[in-house]
């Protein structure tokens, strides 16, 4: 006979409820024991019956397992909640960062020439010196870039000069080839003179 699916609700009959409690408690203890043996796990199980009776199972000791659980919960709480010391460190780091930001902002204003009316002579001289050093660095970098561009242009000039020389050589070869070709008109006249036809007996050509 196939058992029907048990509805997850309180069993109203007291006798049936007690029988179900006993069976399921035994099954639960059996599963806890198997888990502790097969997986080498520390298992503790505490059950209070409807009548208030205590049933417990532990692979080692219930009290020991409870203490371990409490210690683990405390450690996790400490890790998750920042301590007062950590909070003070964070506040100190935040204050240092704010001071650095303020100094950078003040230096930026000085270099841009803002709020100079409230500056002393020493501060103005310091700003002037900083600007001069900046100009020196900028000019040095600018000269370096100019030199690189000049070197690049010189290299391009060498390449163009080489190409121009090669083109001149080819032009000279073409000019020389044209100069040694004979006049085509003169060749045609010579050919006509040599191939003229004579009718009649052959005569000696007069020689001058």
Say how far apart CA 162 and CA 148 lie, in whole Å.
21
Please, what is the Cα angle at 183 between 178 and 185, to 5 degrees? 140
Q: Where along the chain do its domains lie?
A: 14-61
Question: What's the pLDDT tens digit per position in 21-30?
Answer: 999 999 999 9
Give the confidence band of 34 by pLDDT, cuts at 50, 70, 90.
Answer: very high
CATH class of 14-61: alpha beta
All residues at 6 or more sequence positions from 42 whose CB lies less than 8 Å from its CB, including other chains: 36, 59, 60, 65, 68
pLDDT at 184 over 70: no
Question: What's the pLDDT tens digit per position in 123-176?
Answer: 788 878 888 888 888 888 889 999 999 999 999 999 999 999 999 888 888 887
The 3-state DSSP class for residue 32 equals helix
Structure tokens that stand for 205 in this block:
């050509």
Record the pTM: 0.37
Choose from 103-112, 139-148, 177-186 the range with maximum mean pLDDT.
139-148
């Amino acid at each position: 006979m196939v058992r029907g699916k048990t509805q997850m609700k309180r069993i109203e009959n007291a006798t049936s409820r007690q029988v179900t409690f006993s069976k399921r408690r035994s099954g639960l203890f059996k599963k806890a024991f198997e888990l502790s043996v097969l997986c080498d796990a520390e298992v503790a199980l505490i059950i209070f019956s409807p009548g208030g009776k205590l049933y417990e199972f532990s692979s080692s000791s219930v009290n020991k397992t409870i203490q371990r659980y409490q210690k683990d919960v405390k450690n996790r709480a400490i890790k998750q909640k920042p301590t007062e010391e950590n909070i003070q460190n964070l506040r100190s780091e935040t204050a240092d960062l704010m001071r650095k930001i303020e100094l950078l902002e003040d230096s930026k204003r000085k270099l841009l020439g803002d709020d100079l009316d409230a500056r002393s002579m020493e501060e103005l001289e310091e700003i002037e010196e900083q600007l001069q050093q900046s100009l020196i660095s900028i000019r040095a970098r600018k000269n370096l870039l100019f030199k690189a561009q000049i070197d690049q242009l010189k290299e391009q000039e060498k390449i163009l000069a080489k190409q121009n020389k090669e083109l001149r050589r080819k032009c000279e070869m073409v000019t020389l080839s044209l100069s040694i070709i004979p006049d085509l008109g003169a060749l045609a006249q010579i050919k006509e003179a040599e191939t003229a036809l004579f009718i009649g007996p052959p005569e000696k050509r007069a020689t001058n």
